[in-house]
Amino acid sequence: MLKILMTALTAFVIVLLLGPLVIPMLARLMPNKSEQEAPEPPPQTSKKKQAPPPKPPVPTMGGALVLFAVAIATVIFGMEGMEFALPALVAMLAFGVLGFVDDFIRVRDPDGIGLRAGVMLGAELLIAATIAIWAYRSPLIGSSLYLPISGGEWDIGLWYVPLVIAFVMLEVNSAHLSEGMDGLVGGVSTIYALAMIAILAAMAAFANQEGELLLGYNLDGSAIFAAAVAGAGVGFLRYNVYPAKIQPGSTGSLSLGSAVVMLAIVSRSMILLPLMSLCLLASLGSIVLQSLSKTREGGKKLFRAVPLHRHFEQKGHPASQISTMYAILTAAICAFCLLPYFR
């Protein structure tokens, strides 16, 4: 437990200390569109108040802070039992690099367009397939899903590979669609990671009691990784809650989405993943439902705007309230999902 606390604290401090240094650097990368596109103001002929100048854009790519902190903290404290933690970290870094490329192209492109959708989805699919094959071939994971209520296992055979690919694609893209609202992705992912620390610690203790020491050893390593994600997430929220000084960007949303699904894979708790990550999946789900509603006769929209958090925003709820609502709901769901592990 002490190592878990030290891991979280280390990741938290790294983000907290590097934030004031990194945020100005990322801000300089942002194009000042207000200066480039705004017309020359007319000469002032009256005493009417002029409109305030537009606010500078909030820098993106803040997820790089989280990635760096998670990597350092995991390597320092999780070198033992890295059979799960190392692949989880590599997957998070792979999606983070993909997101960074998307962010960098987006901020340097005058039209603000990042990677082409086909390129992005193809790269995501390649990473997802690699993760699925690794998990399927791992002797400590295999093709079985843990059933938390009964305590048994469900072996789904080769269906495990497409299931993992589907979950990875759903989670990373749902997190990506949830990015942009202050504190939303960071808050939900942090609460999920905190819940996974408890689940992994409970599963490690049970494995050790059953004499499966290697499995318990690696589950402890996964808890270290989860603690690094949680600690970095809390540190990042210091700069990302309303009014945000920095946004996670594709770098942060894709990497945090991959961390969410990797923790579910190594704990074999993918059955609980749709429930525990419901607030992230709602972003993608709302877009699908909106598209289906438009095909109906009359074409009436189901939501005022999509993703779902933009619907609440259009209804007049402030961003801080929406992010808090998502965080509370995620905490309640995760607390419910913990119950079978602590009977």
| Tokens representing residue 231 in the block | 């600690």
Mean pLDDT of 89-95: 97
Q: What is the pTM of this model?
A: 0.90
What is the model's pLDDT at position 37?
A: 44
- Is the pLDDT at 45 greater than 60, yes or no? no
Could you read off the pLDDT of 120-163 as tens digits, one per residue? 999 999 999 999 999 999 998 999 999 988 888 999 999 999 99
Sign of the torsion formed by the C-alpha atoms of 279, 280, 283 and 284: negative
pLDDT band at 78 (very low <50, low <70, confident <90, very high): confident
Kindly give, in sequence order, each residue whose CB lies less than 8 Å from that of residue 185, ignoring residues fewer than 6 positions away.
Answer: 175, 178, 179, 248, 252, 253, 256, 280
pLDDT band at 82 (very low <50, low <70, confident <90, very high): confident
Segments making up each domain of the chain, as ranges? 2-20+56-290+297-342
Q: Which helix (H) or strand (E) holds 153?
A: strand 153-155
What is the model's pLDDT at position 266?
A: 94
The larger pLDDT score, comparing residue 114 to residue 127, is at 127
What is the model's pLDDT at position 30?
A: 79
Residue ranges of alpha helices (H) inside the chain are 2-29, 33-37, 63-77, 82-108, 117-137, 160-178, 184-209, 213-240, 249-266, 273-276, 278-295, 308-314, 319-338
Least confident of 112-116, 225-229, 325-329: 112-116
